[in-house]
Amino acid sequence: MAKVLVVTSGKGGVGKTTSTAALGAALAQSGQNVVVVDFDVGLRNLDLVMGAERRVVFDLINVVQGDARLSQALIRDKRCETLSILPASQTRDKDALTSEGVARVMDELREKFDWVICDSPAGIERGAQLAMYHADMAVIVTNPEVSSVRDSDRIIGLLDSKTQKAEQGEKVEKHLLLTRYDPARAARKEMLSVEDVLEILSIPLLGIVPESEDVLKSSNVGAPVTLAAPTSLPARAYFEAARRLSGEKLEVSVPVEKRGFFDWLFKRDA
Binding-site residue ranges for ATP: 11-18
Q: How far, in Å, CA of 29 to CA of 4, rounded?
A: 18
Judged by CB under 5 A, the chain residues 16 through 35 that form the site for Mg ion are 16-17
- The CA distance from 145 to 93, in Å, is 31
Q: Report the b/e string of 61-92 with b at 16+ CB within 10 A.
A: bbbbeeebebeebbbebeebebbbbbbbbbeb
d(CA 42, CA 90): 4
Partner from other proteins, ligand ATP, Mg ion, none binding residue 57, C-beta < 5-8 Å depending on class:
other proteins
Q: Is 11 in the site for Mg ion (CB under 5 A)?
A: no
212 is a contact residue toward ligand ATP (CB under 6 A): yes
Binding string to ligand ATP for residues 178 to 197, with x set by CB under 6 A, is what? -xx-----------------
* Nearest C-alpha neighbor of 96 from the set 164, 42, 147: 42
Closer by beta carbon to other proteins, 176 or else 227: 227
Q: How many CB atoms lie within 10 A of CB 226?
A: 27
How far is residue 2's CA from residue 99's CA, in Å, rounded to a whole number? Answer: 20
Interface pick for ligand ATP out of 10, 15, 87, 127 (rule CB under 6 A): 15
17 vs 163, which CB is nearer to Mg ion?
17
Q: Which residues bind ligand ATP (CB under 6 A)?
A: 9, 12-18, 40, 122, 179-180, 209, 211-212, 215-216, 219, 234
Binding interface with Mg ion (CB under 5 A) = 16-17
